[in-house]
Every structure is written in C-alpha cells, then in structure tokens.
Amino acid sequence: MKKETFAAVATLATMMFMSRGAMAQDQPDRSSSSSSGQSSQQDQSGSARQAGSRAGQGGQQSQNMDQKFVEFASTNDQFEIQASKLAERQASDEQIKQMARQIAEDHQQSSQKLQQAAQQAGVQVSQQLKPHQQAMLQELQQLQGQEFDRAWLYGNVAGHTKAVLKFRDEAREGQNEQIKQFAQQTLPTIQKHLQHAQEMAQFDSAQTAGATERASDRSSSDRSSDRSGSRSERGSRSGRGITDGNSDTSGTGTQSGSSSSSSGTGTSGGTNR
C-alpha cells in the first residue's frame, strides 16, 4: 500500500513538474508576442505622426503662399490708389488723368473684395506700403509735366506686369478657395490695366523701334565687315600680281644675259678664226 501511494505521489509530482515547464515555455512566447505587438503599434503610431507632420507642413506652406499673395495684393491696391490720385493732380495729359481715375476706382473695389475674401479665409490683411513703394511715391511727387507722365506710365507697365504674374499664379495654384476665386475674378482687370498702360506708353512701338535699331546695327556691322573683306582680297590679289611680275622680270633678265653671253662667245670665236 505504501509503495502504491509513493508511486502515485511520484507520478503526480512528475506531472506537476512537466506542467510547470510547459507554462514556463509559454510565458516567453507570450512575452515576445506582446513585445512584437507593442513594436508594431509604435511603428504605426510613428508613421501616423510623420504623415500628420507632412500634411501639416503642406497645409502650412499653402497657407503661407495664400498669405503672401494677400499681402502683395493688399499693398499693391493701396499703392495704385495713391499713385493714381497723384496722377489726377499732376499729370499733364488728360488721357492719363482719365486712366488714373479708372485705375483708382478698380483698385478700391479690388481692396474691398480682397478684405472680404481674406476674412472668410481667416487670413490677415496688411495695407501698409512697402519701403520701395513709399520711395516711388516720393519720387513721383517731385516730378511735373511730361516727366511725371512718362514715369507714371512706365511704372504702371512694370507694376501691372508683376501683378499679372502674381494673380495668375494664385489663380492656378492657390489652396484657399476664397483667395483663389478672388485672384481668378480680379486677374482680367489687372490685365486690362497692363494693356492700357502699354498702349499709352506706346510699348509696341518702342519694341518695334528697338528691334529695327538692333537690325540696323547688325546690317551696318555686316556691311563694314564685307567692305573690309573686299579690301583685304584686293590687296592680296595685287600683292600676288607684283610678286609674279618681279619673277617674270627676273627671269627675262636672266634669259637676256644668257643671250648676250652666247653672242659674245660667238664674236670671240669669229675673231680667233
């Protein structure tokens, strides 16, 4: 009985030991599985943060682009309004005064629409002129008559050329719908101002005159080059002719000398005989 009891206890102890070993083996597996799950979650979380960071940077860049455009359009409106009012007072040409009045009205309307669009988009608007714009206004104030007319027109050609490019880029690439729509709607007016300024400044005539002058300079240079080449060629032919003539003369003289020598020999022979 004791032997049977001992055997039963030994068997039970062996089974308990084996079950503990199995449990010990399962624990590392569960631990490694848990670590792998945590690592996967960390990777996913890191990827999500990176994606969110990139999206945030992209949104910030697009917002910066819209903000820069709003700043340009706002200060450009204020400059054009002030410069046009100055032209109404100081211009000597009545057509320039009429053009200036129209430009001032258009930019006043543009400024109001820009403020509404920027407010809807949550973008700040600054109407303070840039230092170079203030300097240009001060220079215009010191001019009178035709000098003022030319300076104002040329400034309009340059300023509206830049404005057309800025409005075109925003109309194509702007991210904020309100600001983008404002650029699209205002661009035709800016283009009309540029075309009118070019016509008043005779921009096309100036381009044609410049092209004609450059073509005339090239033609004059070509004719001068042709004349120089012709003189060089004539000189070369003349030089070859003189050289050939000297050679012919020298050959003739040698032949004549030989003949004289032969004649002298013949005379001497006759005397001896």
- Is residue 23 in some structural domain? no
pLDDT(175) > 50: yes
Task: Give me the domain span that covers residue 168.
Answer: 65-213
For tokens 């000297």, what's the residue? 246
Q: What is the CATH number of the domain that holds 125?
A: 1.20.1260.10
- Is residue 264 in some structural domain? no
Which residues have C-beta within 8 Å of that of residue 243, sequence separation ≥ 6? Answer: none
Which pLDDT tens digit goes with each residue over 86-105?
999 999 999 999 999 999 99
Token output for 217: 């300079």
- Is residue 233 in some structural domain? no
Handedness of CA 263, 265, 268, 273 (dihedral sign): negative
Token output for 150: 């030319």
Closest to 149 (Cα-Cα) out of 106, 114, 98, 205: 98
Structurally, how many domains does the chain consist of? 1
pLDDT(202) > 80: yes
- Is residue 30 in some structural domain? no
Rounded Cα gap, residues 190 and 198, in angstroms: 12
Single pTM value for the model: 0.57
For the chain, give the secondary structure using H, E and C: CHHHHHHHHHHHHHHHHHHHHHHHHHHHHHHHHHHHHHHHHHHHHHHHHHHHHHHHHHHHHHHHHHHHHHHHHHHHHHHHHHHHHHHHHHCCCHHHHHHHHHHHHHHHHHHHHHHHHHHHHCCCCCCCCCHHHHHHHHHHHCCCHHHHHHHHHHHHHHHHHHHHHHHHHHHHHCCCHHHHHHHHHHHHHHHHHHHHHHHHCCHHHHHHHHHHHHHHHHHHHHHHHHHHHHHHHHHHHHHHHHHHHHHHHHHHHHHHHHHHHHHHHHHHHHHHC
- Is residue 120 in some structural domain? yes
Residue 64: which pLDDT band, with cuts at 50, 70 and 90?
confident
pLDDT(69) > 50: yes
Residue 203: which pLDDT band, with cuts at 50, 70 and 90?
confident
- The stretch 20-34 carries a mean pLDDT of 48
- Is residue 33 in some structural domain? no
